[in-house]
Amino acid sequence: MKTRSTRRSAGLKSSAAIPWLPDLERSGGPIYLSLADAVAAAVASGALKAGDRLPTHRALASALDLDLTTVTRAYGEARRRGLVDATAGRGTFVRQPPPGRDDHKSAVEVDLSMNMPPHPPSAAIPARLSQTMAAILRRSDLPQLLSYHPSAGSLGDRAAAAEWLSPLLPGLSHARVLVAGGGQAALMSLLTTLVPGGGTVLTEALTYPGLRAAASQSGIALTGLDMDAEGMLPDVLDDACARLKPAALYTIPTIQNPTTATMSFARRAAIAEVIRRHGLPVIEDDAYGMLPGEPLAPLATLAPEHVWYVATLSKCLFPALRIAYVVAPDQRRSSRTQAALRATVQMAPPLSAAVATRWICSGTAQEIIEAIRREARARQALARRLLPADAMDAHPEGHHVWLRLPPAWNAAAFTDRIRRSGLAVVPGSAFAVAPAGPDRQGENALRVSLGAARDLDALEGALTRITAALEEDEDTLPEIV
């Protein structure tokens, strides 16, 4: 097998006939990505200018002793990044940069910061959505659908929600279910319902940034509690309840955002016992609860009289649907939450709710989530193969991983470093809630979301670049810290 150095030497022998020839000797990861990165570097340095014609696929493959398919794939990647254009019969040319964009490397090529489900072709979401919307617009009651709806959702939508949640909350009555315009609207409504102004909410030391934003807007203080590999610790929660007399607890027991920690049944039972002992109201954010193939008992089944349960469709179908379901402990308290929803957002989007209900009742939602679950498993397997296993926490059916950084890096510097290579991730500080433990509860880490990459190839390239950056020599750090 020829090494990259050998390939480079072979390429240099014929370089006289090639107007531009990259040096791949020091590149890491897949060769096609190294070649695309070389194009990007040449454009950035001025070695390649707008309008320059690149070597033909065949000529460059011959010069570098590469497979023709490798060069074709590399040029395709460069085209996807907006670096080049290809015209049949004319060749491949460096693109003119858009006005006001001087450094293409600052643009995000693969966004690993948005925690969303992948959309594999097998899920067929665009086609299904188009067909469903056409069917909805043919409904005889369309004028009613396009009008105002009850702030808790229609009876049909609430019944569909109870059916959807039945694997997690068996025997759920639709009278306890509210339909909200997304998980964020649900959280804001619950905070205003449960927590008086100036009150304190307990949460994990690292938690969902949307909760932090909602609490800040509502004048609510958050107190972060130390965690372990399963998330919240029962004894720490018990002590905080006794000392702080909090108004409520917010927790994500399944595939916690950002750490991916998932409570065992024993841990959930212990947390539920603390909740009951202190009479503590709980907001259980089960955004990822439908992802595991084997359902995990929510806290709402273990301490039902204390728990307001929130499940969004954003993480198991797609974010733009903007539908979430809130389950109150009983019908009386459901009415209080309904009033808060009405004051906050008036009603959930009726067209979105109609899509969700139709998909749930027809089985389409289940088919989509199964396709997404299969794709999530494949992406998690890829992450386990490419990222350092001893520094990574993940759930095999989740949409993100929690990557702890080596001591030579801090999360802010590393985030900036890979941003300049075209990748976006979220540093641990974005999730931190004071006070944290002596090690800052793992803030020197990144949440790497796997779902937004368009396919496995794009994800592989992005993760390979992250791993290569982690392995950079220490003498490169002063330039980027």
Residue ranges covered by each domain of the chain:
4-102, 123-366, 369-479
Cα distance between the two ends of the chain: 38
Q: What CATH number should be reported for the domain whose range is 4-102?
A: 1.10.10.10
180 backbone dihedrals φ, ψ, rounded to 5°:
-115, 160
Cα separation, 174 vs 362, in Å, equals 18
Q: Does an H or E element contain 157, and which?
A: helix 155-165
Assigned CATH class of 123-366: alpha beta
Q: In this predicted structure, what is the pLDDT of residue 172?
A: 95
Q: Name the nearest CA neighbour of 384 among 397, 371, 374.
A: 397
Q: How big is the chain by its Cα radius of gyration, in Å?
A: 26
Q: Name the nearest CA neighbour of 20 among 89, 67, 78.
A: 78
Task: Supply 21's token pair.
Answer: 């020839």
Cβ 222 vs Cβ 433: under 8 Å: yes
Taking CB atoms within 8 Å and a gap of at least 24, the contacts of 353-356 are 353/149, 353/153, 353/154, 353/157, 353/179, 353/323, 354/136, 354/145, 354/157, 355/129, 355/132, 355/133, 355/136, 355/321, 356/157, 356/160, 356/313, 356/317, 356/321, 356/323
Cβ 431 vs Cβ 258: under 8 Å: yes
Q: Which residues of the chain have pLDDT under 70?
A: 1-18, 25-29, 88-89, 97-106, 436-442, 473-481
Q: In this predicted structure, what is the pLDDT of residue 61?
A: 87
What are the residues facing 393 on neighbouring strands? 402
70 backbone dihedrals φ, ψ, rounded to 5°:
-65, -45
120 backbone dihedrals φ, ψ, rounded to 5°:
-65, 155
Q: Name the nearest CA neighbour of 185 among 300, 306, 323.
A: 323
Cα separation, 42 vs 157, in Å, equals 55
432: which DSSP letter?
Answer: B
Cβ 364 vs Cβ 175: under 8 Å: no
Assigned CATH class of 369-479: alpha beta
H helices of 291-330, where?
A: 299-302
Residue 60: alpha-carbon gap to chain centroid = 38
Say if strands 248-251 and 200-204 run parallel, antiparallel, or are unpaired. Answer: parallel
Q: Does an H or E element contain 284, and which?
A: strand 282-285
Residue 65: alpha-carbon gap to chain centroid = 39
Q: Name the nearest CA neighbour of 372 among 126, 171, 117.
A: 117
| pTM for the predicted model, two decimal places | 0.77
Q: Name the nearest CA neighbour of 416 among 105, 81, 207, 29.
A: 105
Cis peptide before 435 (omega within 30 of 0): yes
Beta-sheet strand order (sheet of 248-251): 177-180, 324-327, 307-312, 282-285, 248-251, 200-204, 221-225
